[in-house]
Amino acid sequence: MPELPEVETVRRGLLPAMEGEMIEQAEVRREGLRWPFPDNMADRLTGAGVKALRRRSKYILADLDTDETLIIHLGMSGRMQVSGVKIGGFYHDHQPEQKHDHVVLHMSGGGRVTFNDARRFGAMDLAPSDAVDQHKMLVGLGPEPLGNDFHEDLLSERFKGRKTPVKSALLDQKIVAGLGNIYVCEVLNRVGISPRRSVGEINATEIGLLVPAIREVLSEAIEAGGSSLKDYRQADGELGYFQHSFKVYGREGEACQTPDCRGEIGRITQAGRSSFFCAQCQR
């Protein structure tokens, strides 16, 4: 599933086609994806202007001049494909309709935005803009890890007295929003903390390392266009490249890349997810 860097990369790719433009026509080609689409979604989107395009956790939010916000979740294999406008230095012509093109937005600037989702685990919904934070997919989310509300004192408070493994705690969207399996593995390796450690055992010095490491890893991944493992593509169809910088994720059995460490990357399962780490330098 795309994590924060992938979703942020897609949002940035959508900006030239969507922000400040009007949806001249919305095509909705099925009743829903993971959940049913809202009633009359095509009619509610057609003619709406996109005032702003932002991200909350792993969701893209398009604030419309109809006082509604379009919520987009990519799910496991969802792609937002842009054609007809220039993204960076690239221009892509409109492509023939594909089998899994479920929602198509024809924009006033000549661009076309297509939501393609082969596995149909993605989602779209509409909510009143002034109450979008209370939507069932967004309510209760923790602070953004790249925002000012995420800091050492907050993490210390949310870790205090808990026995939860640090890997599970950082994946808890109520503690911090947007972190996923890949980047938590990379962060914990960077700071030398085992994913099995209880958060209540992590001291202030280690928390002081965790917060900037989270920001650094996410920022580096965004700069690289995210990580492409299976289905993920940027809005212009290009792959992300951060997977080439992985130190531990997916590297079971390989030598640890931490300087002066002679350990080997191992894998354990935590809450049904694979955790990759070096038992020698991550304590």
Q: Which CATH class is domain 152-278?
A: mainly alpha
Expressed in angstroms, the distance from the first to the final Cα of the chain is: 28
- Give tens-digit pLDDT for 140-163: 999 999 999 999 999 999 999 999
What residue spans define the domains of the chain? 4-134, 152-278
8: DSSP letter: H
Query: Catalytic: 6?
Result: no
Q: Is 216 among the catalytic positions?
A: no
Round to whole Å and give the CA distance between 132 and 74. Answer: 18
Q: Which among 3, 19, 21, 68 is annotated as catalytic? A: 3
pLDDT per residue as tens digits for the range 225-274 = 765 444 444 455 554 434 557 899 999 999 999 999 999 999 999 989 99
pLDDT at residue 77, rounded to an integer: 84
The region that residue 140 occupies, defined by phi over 0 for left and psi between -120 and 50 for alpha, beta otherwise, is left
Catalytic entry in 51, 158, 196, 273: 273
Catalytic residue among 55, 58, 167, 197: 58
To the query of whether residue 145 is one of the catalytic residues in this protein, the response is no
Active-site residue, 2 included: yes
For domain 4-134, give the CATH number.
3.20.190.10
Its pTM stands at 0.90
